[in-house]
Amino acid sequence: MSVLPIITAPDPRLKKKCQPVEQVDSQIVQLMDDMLETMYAAPGIGLAAPQVGVLKRVIVVDVGHDDQRDPRFFANPEVVWHSDDVASYEEGCLSLPENFSDVVRPAAIKLRYLDRDNTPQEMEADGLLATCIQHEIDHLEGILFVDHISALKRSMILRRLTKAKKAHRPLAKYATA
Ligand code: GNR
Ligand code: NI
């Protein structure tokens, strides 16, 4: 397994619609395992393939605790039902480092997907797991959490990230000022 570089905004690859996988073969399993290691190293609770430059419909999620990991792997995830109830969480994104905003989404979802063994599965999720899965599926459509907040907040965040890139200023864990 390897830790892959994570793409940060602004980057055209984060705005693209990703393609379904034909099947979860050994190459996709390798991608899933590398994504999981990359997510743990970051650290984060979810990661979508486009964040590591792969425009395929693959996500990994772990909302467990350090002492009790709960890795989950999804290919071609599809929300087939969502609650009318909504929930608000303060979201962050490894592709928008150091920026956080409250985002409102359906509180519960039902999902259809292929698991790491290429087996079709259905599952229901609520709480942080539901929020995280929806955040990751958004990435597969080229949507970031800032696309759910006010235009003013969005432009403030994107301006900060553009400036940081132009200055070649490292963000997140290697930032010194
Ligand atoms: O690590 C992450 N934390 C998080 C917190 C609240 C809602 C969503 C997330 S996902 C994020 C990692 C990430 O960028 N995944 O795409
Ligand atoms: Ni994200």
Cα-Cα end-to-end distance for the chain = 32
Residue where the block lists tokens 């999981």? 36
Query: What is the CB < 6 Å shell around ligand 1?
Result: 44-48, 51, 89, 91-95, 131-132, 135-136, 139
Each domain of the chain, given as residue ranges in start order, spans: 12-170
Instruction: Please provide the size of the chain in residues.
Output: 177
Q: Which of 60, 61, 72, 94 to mutate to test the pocket of ligand 1 (most atoms within 8 A of CB)?
A: 94
Strands (E) in the chain, as ranges, are: 46-48, 58-61, 72-82, 86-91, 101-106, 108-114, 120-126
Q: Which atom of ligand 1 is nearest to the CA of 139?
A: 16
Residue nearest to atom 11 of ligand 1 (CA): 93
pLDDT mean over 103-131: 98
Q: Which atom of ligand 1 is nearest to the CA of 96?
A: 14
Residue where the block lists tokens 């970051």? 42
In this predicted model, what pLDDT tens digit does every residue of 122-172 receive, in sequence order?
999 999 999 999 999 999 999 999 999 999 999 999 999 999 888 876 665
Distance 158 CA to ligand 2 centre (A): 14
User: Which pLDDT does position 166 carry in this prediction?
Assistant: 87
In this predicted model, what pLDDT tens digit does every residue of 24-47 receive, in sequence order?
999 999 999 999 999 999 999 999
Which band of pLDDT confidence, cut at 50, 70 and 90, is reported for residue 67? confident
Does the pLDDT at position 177 exceed 90?
no
For residue 172 the two structure tokens come to: 């997140």
Instruction: Count other Cβ atoms within 10 Å, centred on residue 94.
Output: 20
The whole-model pTM stands at 0.95
- 12-170: which CATH topology? Peptide Deformylase (3.90.45)
Does the pLDDT at position 81 exceed 70?
yes
Q: Is 22 a catalytic residue?
A: no
Catalytic hit among 37, 124, 136, 141: 136
